[in-house]
Amino acid sequence: MSYKQKLSVEEKVQIVQEYLKGRIGMNEAARRSGVRRQSFNGWVRNYEADGVDAFLPHKNRIYSPELKRAAVEEYLSGIGSLSEICKNIIFGVPYSSGTGFRCIMLMETSTPKNTQEVEAT
């Protein structure tokens, strides 16, 4: 397997934009990028959510307990799917398997162990 050097931010943006404008298909975009289709699809989702910033280095996001609780409450009430809640409330980016896992972990750490104890306080 040959090694392909990483693409610059500008190159990634150009390929994603060509794909979104319908100038190239998913297979061609992934080939030009040197990544698998699934990875390129993740690039597209992230780009649609964050624009060029999706390809810039960033620190992990920190979410307040209030935001986490709101996400848990919406999920438990059935207002939205895990995907929709991760996208709209917590992350602001489309759902991916990694995002879904992080969202579930946030929900588990935000959900009170003893609901009666929390309601009493």
In angstroms, what CA-CA distances link 107 with 25, 63, 65? 37, 12, 10
Whether 50 and 69 map to the same domain: the answer is: no
- Is the separation of the CB atoms in 90 and 105 below 8 Å? no
Whether 70 and 50 map to the same domain: the answer is: no
Position 58 scores a pLDDT of: 72
Rounded Cα gap, residues 110 and 47, in angstroms = 29
Range of the domain at 18: 9-55
Inform me whether the pLDDT recorded for 3 exceeds 60: no
Give domain status of residue 14, yes or no.
yes
Give domain status of residue 1, yes or no.
no
What is the pLDDT confidence band of residue 10, given thresholds at 50, 70 and 90?
A: very high
Position 107 scores a pLDDT of: 56
What are the backbone dihedrals phi and psi of residue 118, each rounded to the nearest 5 degrees, phi first?
A: -70, -40
Give domain status of residue 71, yes or no.
yes
- Is the separation of the CB atoms in 15 and 33 below 8 Å? yes
pLDDT in tens, 49-98: 888 888 888 767 677 788 878 888 888 888 877 777 776 765 554 444 45
Q: Could you tell me the pTM of the whole model? A: 0.54
Number of domains in the chain: 2
Give domain status of residue 49, yes or no.
yes
Give domain status of residue 30, yes or no.
yes
Mean pLDDT of the chain: 75
